[in-house]
């Protein structure tokens, strides 16, 4: 309960940064739009090349051909089919990781500007990220490679492969937690940034990091409010037989969930920025108190 309380305090401190920089909420929206464009750019050529993709009466064999780029080919498929599938998958991973990393870098930069000077803007964050474009491209390449390897492990065995990929993926996420702040501030390449991320965590982390990963639990608990709204609307509908109430409940829950996703997408990079400053300089920035951040890291 003490660790959970610390997480709540860390989230409050992160929220203070977001509250004073509400325009930062625009960055996740831009990131989402760019990711949708990436997805569309991969879908469109396939659909365009297969006019019967959405047509009725398409034979099952034809559907399997149409979906070849979305599901791994059979083991006995031609080698070119495997190369085509995993090549397209790698390109898709690379494009998506680039978008995610670029906008996360912009959020981290904007948060750092505010923590250190009390002033930041979307343009300053985007400008800082643009200056690190080669490093971001390099880290996107590394991330896409790791993502593809994890996918290969997952496809190797339906049960064991998924479990192993999940464990390795979690470990990778933990080790790379501070890579983006290192890239933004120090302009190091992907390998050097990874080494620095591991070193900073190794120097200050003993048993577990109470912040960051615990955020997910809090977001999950908060998301249950949306379920409660829908359940309440469903109950009122059963009593009044008024469909408008039920539809309104679903709409309110959807808006609430979207807002929660938007806020969480900003608060996590803010927390990463604060941890980086504390791990690098030994000083708590902005609304993050010294005692609060020292509790986030369990020293050896």
**pLDDT score, position 64:** 43
Query: CA nearest 174: which of 155, 153, 152, 202?
Result: 202
Length of the chain: 300
Give alpha helix (H) positions in the chain.
Answer: 2-20, 26-49, 60-66, 79-117, 122-131, 133-156, 160-175, 179-186, 190-204, 213-240, 243-281, 290-296
**pLDDT score, position 62:** 44
Per-residue pLDDT of the chain (300 residues; tens, 9 = 90+): 445 566 677 777 788 878 878 888 899 999 999 999 988 888 766 655 555 444 454 444 444 444 444 566 666 667 777 777 788 888 889 999 999 999 999 999 988 888 777 777 888 889 999 999 999 999 999 999 999 998 888 877 777 888 888 888 888 888 888 899 999 999 999 999 999 888 887 765 533 455 555 677 788 888 999 999 999 999 888 888 888 888 999 999 999 999 888 888 888 888 888 888 877 777 766 667 666 666 555 544
**pLDDT score, position 4:** 57
Q: Is 209 helix (H, G, I), strand (E, B) or coil?
A: strand
Please tell me what DSSP assigns to residue 75.
T
Between CA 3 and CA 295 the distance in angstroms is: 8
Please tell me what DSSP assigns to residue 58.
-
Between CA 66 and CA 1 the distance in angstroms is: 51
**pLDDT score, position 173:** 84
**pLDDT score, position 107:** 92
pTM for the model stands at: 0.79
**pLDDT score, position 166:** 85
Between CA 261 and CA 255 the distance in angstroms is: 10
Between CA 276 and CA 211 the distance in angstroms is: 13
Asked if residues 109 and 133 have their Cβ atoms less than 8 Å apart, the reply is no
Q: How many C-beta neighbours within 10 Å does residue 56 have? A: 5
Q: Which residues, including other chains, have CB under 8 Å from residue 20's CB and lie 6 or more apart?
A: 114
Query: CA nearest 112: which of 274, 266, 267?
Result: 274
Between CA 256 and CA 210 the distance in angstroms is: 26
Burial class (CB in 10 A: 0-12, 13-18, 19+), 62: middle
Asked if residues 227 and 253 have their Cβ atoms less than 8 Å apart, the reply is yes
């Amino acid at each position: 309960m003490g660790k959970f309380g610390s997480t709540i305090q860390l989230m409050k401190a992160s929220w203070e940064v977001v509250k004073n920089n509400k325009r930062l909420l625009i960055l996740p929206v831009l990131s989402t739009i760019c990711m949708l464009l990436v997805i569309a750019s991969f879908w469109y050529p396939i659909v365009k090349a297969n006019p019967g993709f959405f047509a009725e009466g398409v034979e099952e064999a034809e559907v399997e051909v149409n979906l070849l780029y979305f599901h791994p080919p059979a083991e006995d498929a031609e080698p070119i089919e495997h190369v085509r599938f995993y090549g397209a998958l790698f390109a898709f991973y690379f494009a998506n990781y680039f978008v995610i990393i670029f906008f996360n870098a912009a959020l981290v930069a904007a948060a750092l500007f505010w923590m250190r000077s009390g002033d930041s803007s979307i343009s300053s964050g985007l400008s800082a990220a643009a200056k690190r474009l080669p490093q971001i491209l390099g880290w996107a390449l590394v991330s896409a490679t790791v993502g593809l390897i994890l996918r290969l492990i997952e496809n190797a065995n339906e049960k064991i492969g998924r479990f192993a990929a999940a464990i390795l993926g979690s470990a990778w996420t933990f080790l790379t937690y501070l890579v983006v702040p290192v890239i933004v501030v120090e302009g190091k390449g992907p390998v050097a940034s990874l080494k620095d991320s591991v070193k900073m965590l190794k120097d200050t982390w003993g048993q577990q990091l109470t912040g960051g990963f615990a955020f997910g639990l809090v977001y999950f608990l908060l998301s249950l409010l949306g379920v409660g709204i829908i359940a309440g609307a469903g109950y009122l509908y059963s009593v009044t037989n008024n469909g408008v109430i039920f539809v309104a409940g679903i709409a309110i829950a959807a808006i609430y969930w979207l807002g929660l996703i938007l806020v969480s997408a900003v608060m996590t990079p803010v927390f990463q920025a604060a941890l980086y400053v504390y791990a690098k300089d030994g000083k708590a920035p902005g609304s993050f108190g010294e005692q609060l951040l020292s509790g986030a890291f369990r020293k050896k």
